[in-house]
Amino acid sequence: MTSTLEQLKAMTTVVADTGDFAIIDQYKPHDATTNPSLIMKAVEKKEYQHLVDRAVEDSGGDVENAVDRLLVAFGIEILKIIPGRVSTEVPASLSFNVEGTVTKAGDLIKLYESNGIARERILIKIASTWEGIRAAEILEGRGICCNLTLLFSLTQAIACAEAGVKLISPFVGRILDWHRKNTGKEYSSEEDPGVLSVREIYKYYKTFGYETEIMGASFRNTGEILELAGCDLLTIGPSLLDELQGMETPVARKLDPKTVNSEDMAKTNLNEKQFRWEMNEDAMATEKLAEGIRKFAADLDNVRDIAARKIAL
């Protein structure tokens, strides 16, 4: 019988959520995503030290340039394996800086293009703050496609769609984490708050004809993944890819634009004041967004430290 993973690939674009080339090659995903945490784990492995050394050598002794080159180096190696796109993240410290995000994204794209990689194969990852969404709107207008990450609410999703963002990454598992912690309750896959959040976003997008792609992310178990079968994309970490590959559970399509019931869905038009207020009223989204930004910023600082030590040698 066909594995559960292969069945899933027939209805959803499967994306590998890792910076490990061997894992990407093993599971043959269409796309791949990286973030500072994944890159930090990868650069600590001996087999990737040559990429660190090359980035440092080409940086001219500039730590920020070395980090940019390292992020792009991982992306280039990943693109040698996959047929689709790779996501590369701007520093989380720029999450509230429109101009800084636009500039950094441009720098990363220039590095890719100088290595013969077309910008169509790159998604620039940006945190789904108001400022991040505004930066993405500018970048999309320049032909630079964006992946709005750390997304925890319909409010963020609507703002991204209105800005013409290419893709969003709702963080299913982190939504579940928050609800478990704050309610003390365990949830079945069918009632998982993260799953329900993505379904609501999917329904909204398909009802009003938005072309922004939805990529479920940050999964805690295969049940969450299977409950979102049919989503535009799902980015899945190595352990869950392995589990799905070893399963033969039949996969039923749970999300389908042809079966969306939109009778109770009203369109929302968001301005900045409304966005900030609705985020303020959503404790889960506010807390998880801030937590994610802090964590990604800290992990990229660790990558900078590695580059700085190499430069100092």
Per-position b or e across 236-261, b if 16+ CB within 10 A of its CB: bbbebbeebeebeeebeebbeeeebe
> What are the strands, taking DSSP E only, across 132-204?
146-151, 167-170
Q: Is 87 helix (H, G, I), strand (E, B) or coil?
A: strand
Which pair of structure tokens corresponds to residue 2?
Answer: 């066909």
Nearest to 13 by CA among 32, 38, 34, 40: 32
Instruction: Give 269's contacts (C-beta < 8 A, 6+ positions apart).
Output: 162
Q: Is the dihedral of CA 292, 293, 296, 302 positive or negative?
A: negative
Active-site choice (125, 203, 206, 288): 125
Nearest 10 degrees: Cα torsion 81, 213, 277, 172: -60
Is 9 catalytic? The answer is no
Calpha distance 116→112 (Å, rounded): 7
Calpha distance 94→123 (Å, rounded): 17
Distances (CA, A) of 171 to 110, 194, 245, 309: 29, 7, 22, 33
Span between the terminal Cα atoms of the chain, in Å:
54
For the annotated catalytic residues, the residue numbers are 125
